[in-house]
Structure 1
Amino acid sequence: MEFKAPVLRRFNEYQMLEDVFLENPRENEVRVRMAASGVCHSCVSVELGEQPDIPLPIILGDEGAGVVEKVGPGCTSLREGDHVILSWAPGCGRCRLCASGRPALCENASPFGMPDNSSRFYVSDEPVSHFGPSTYSPYVVVTETAAIKVTTKMPLDRAALIGCAVTTGIGAVLNTAKVGVGESVAVFGCGGVGLNAIQGAALAGAHPVIAVDIEDSKLEVAREMGATITINSANVDAVDAVRGNTSGGVDYAVLTVGIISVLEQALAALRVAGTCVLVGAPAQGQLAKVDPLHLLAGERRLVGSRYGSYNPQIAFPRLVDLYLSGKIKLDNLISHRYELDQVNEASRNLVSGHDVRGMILFD
């Protein structure tokens, strides 16, 4: 089938709507008609050339939901009409990490195409790379393990958020950090992932839950998501403010922005035996200075979190249930809705801080 989709051909240039041809699903693959796609910082970092090894041309988008329209041969877990959330980390299902329930760390992952490194997108005869599930495209073909079925009671625009921001943020707190009741948490960066880390901390019973950002509008949303203390680091020293509101530092600092100076702040804000969880990815090649004695003397730790240390097959339906039961909030995360031809405007608004999470809606 053929349709219009935004294609990125050069870094630091606009995505352009082009006539894209999509192959039919092959064995154990499905075609999904997209309903909604979140606009994520990971995609913006590709547009800005911060990941220069990304193959171009490419169709971006790593957070979305839609409806299964066609199933390929051998597909047994999905049927036409199923509502699904797309995962950017389906995993091969065979390596030791997939077998242990950690597909985001799959040893055989193919991030820019299908598992055999081929593409299903073409412009004329030119293959176009996939950015994970490429949710900016109105139609996608993915492996059946990348499309997780959820109840039709779940609104698909809210479901799209679970495909990345919700799973990544909540999981960083509940799974990677394993925050306990009464332990203190500071979240540095209150975008889509950071706000979900805040509500993950609230779910865990953390106290206090501290939100740190440079935008008052995002700090206001952070309070709605469960933050008990907010700090505008454009006006005060964030480390001093965090320490002043705790007993010399927090048990857990969660960093959701890829800024090295903020990573150093998060580490400095830890109390003895505290843990810093790194979620936001800096530009490729950037290095941080870490004082080994700061870690050693107080048994502090710096750990990474990829996709919230979650298995999407288990996490997505569980997070949907939490939303439908009122345990987590998603409605106030969507700050603006866009049509497909506004994809570049959505990217600009995310970079400027105007949007918490922009959402592209498809017909």
Structure 2
Amino acid sequence: MAVQARIAVLPPQRRDLVLHEVNLLPGPYEVVVQQQAFGVCHSQLDRIFDDNRTTPMVLGHESTGTVAAVGSRVTYVQPGDPVVVTWIPRTPLQGRRPAPTAVALSDGQIATTHNTFTWGTHALVDEQYVVKTAADLSPDLGAIIGCALMTGAGAVMNTAAVRAGQSVAVWGTGGVGLCAVAAASILGAAPIIAVDIDDDKLKLARHFGATDVVNASAVDPVEAILDRTPHADGTRGVDIGLDCTGLGANIPISLAAVRPGVRGAGIRGGADILVGIPRVPFQLDSFDLLNGEKSLIGCVGGSCDPVRDFATFTAWVADGRFDASALVTGRYRLDDLDKAVDDLHAGRVGGRAVVEL
């Protein structure tokens, strides 16, 4: 069954979005989701500001809503089920690779996407990108769980496997970084040092559990972190760094703030988790990495298992450990989506921008 929808399309070689009326007909393994809210992620700016695009694109990869239609071979959900949409496949080991979505536009063009899209009244996605949830899931949580919370909190919980008492530094306190701060606090890390160049974002980081904040535009952030993290073995630095900046030039800096190991004592250095995605090559201080026996670890989507980890995140909200609504610092309508993108690009969104439908 086809579903009429209004979706945002990014034309080739343009940076403004155009709203299209389309009919979404699910393929055999696809699901149409009538959306309640969706997040606006910083990673989508890379596609918007890519002037080499030659085809229309549909964007977005985290949302919450209700299943409106399903394809003939979908068995996981049925119409009426509440779900969240994410970009990490739910069942990647079951033999079928999820297919990227393509949408036929009324002018005959085909709009493509990397894997999913959510910027519209409805989303058409492979069924592996939806996760069933409770009917009373808050729109704020549903709009951020599929990317911001998964990526930031997952990096702490899964990739770094942070333990109580470990010291953590989070570099970049946008939506993803704030989720990393919150997860570190929930897991009992101490101290938790948030690093940014925006005092308002650092203030918000304290709300989510940061014990210390460092404005990297005012002081040397590495020295500030080293001063706050002395260890009994004589080393200084955090056990775990999480670089959420997406800036290649910042990676050797965040790595320098990680504690080194102790040669002869069998004590390895700490780890720096690469959470943000640098879009250009970067250089490292190989001596710092090697001599300090440190680790630089890549992380995609918080190393998450969506079904398992979304249940954990939902429990954090239910018992008051995570404040999903406080992460949403910009609220928009679908007609104002370009403004949400502009605000995000200009740094005017402290946490996460969400479009409510």
TM-score by length of 2: 0.90
Aligned pairs for 1:334-353 (under 5 A) are 334-353=328-347
Please state if 1:127 is matched with 2:110.
yes
Q: Which residue of 2 aligns with 1:93?
A: 92
User: Is the CA contact (8 Å cut-off) linking 2:242 and 2:273 kept in structure 1?
Assistant: yes
Question: 2:166 is aligned with what amino acid?
Answer: E
2-structure distance, mates of 1:6, 1:144 = 21
Q: Secondary structure at the match of 2:105?
A: strand
Cα offset, 1:55, TM superposition: 6.2
Residues 1:136 and 1:151: Cα distance change in structure 2 (over 3 Å) = same
Aligned pairs for 1:53-68 (under 5 A) are 56-68=55-67
Residues 1:11 and 1:199: Cα distance change in structure 2 (over 3 Å) = farther
1-structure distance, mates of 2:92, 2:144 = 24
1-structure distance, mates of 2:273, 2:106 = 40
Match for residue 272 of structure 2 among 258, 272, 276: 276
1-structure distance, mates of 2:55, 2:175 = 26
Cα offset, 1:92, TM superposition: 6.4
Cα offset, 1:132, TM superposition: 3.0
1-structure distance, mates of 2:54, 2:145 = 26
**Identity fraction in percent:** 34
- Between 1:71-80 and 1:141-150, the stretch displaced more is 71-80
1-structure distance, mates of 2:355, 2:47 = 18
2-structure distance, mates of 1:132, 1:156 = 23
Count of residue pairs the alignment pairs up: 341
Match for residue 327 of structure 2 among 314, 330, 333: 333
Please state if 1:254 is matched with 2:242.
yes
2-structure distance, mates of 1:325, 1:260 = 37
- Alpha-carbon deviations, 1:252-303, whole Å to 9, x = none? 11011111222121011111101100011122xx111112221111110101
User: Is the CA contact (8 Å cut-off) linking 1:62 and 1:131 kept in structure 2?
Assistant: no
User: Is the CA contact (8 Å cut-off) linking 2:11 and 2:55 kept in structure 1?
Assistant: yes
2-structure distance, mates of 1:206, 1:346 = 33
Please state if 1:224 is matched with 2:207.
yes
Cα offset, 1:339, TM superposition: 0.6
1-structure distance, mates of 2:327, 2:27 = 36
User: Is the CA contact (8 Å cut-off) linking 1:37 and 1:160 kept in structure 2?
Assistant: yes
Q: Secondary structure at the match of 1:41?
A: coil
Question: 2:154 is aligned with what amino acid?
Answer: G
Please state if 1:35 is matched with 2:30.
no
Q: Where do 5+ consecutive residues of structure 1 fail to align?
A: 100-105
1-structure distance, mates of 2:4, 2:134 = 29
Q: Which residue of 2 aligns with 1:162?
A: 145
Question: 1:80 is aligned with what amino acid?
Answer: P
Q: Which residue of 2 aligns with 1:361?
A: 356
1-structure distance, mates of 2:336, 2:226 = 42
Question: 1:15 is aligned with what amino acid?
Answer: L
Please state if 1:13 is matched with 2:12.
no
User: Is the CA contact (8 Å cut-off) linking 1:91 and 1:109 kept in structure 2?
Assistant: no
User: Is the CA contact (8 Å cut-off) linking 1:185 and 1:252 kept in structure 2?
Assistant: yes
TM-score by length of 1: 0.89
- Between 1:310-319 and 1:328-337, the stretch displaced more is 310-319
Match for residue 263 of structure 1 among 222, 228, 251: 251
User: Is the CA contact (8 Å cut-off) linking 1:89 and 1:132 kept in structure 2?
Assistant: no
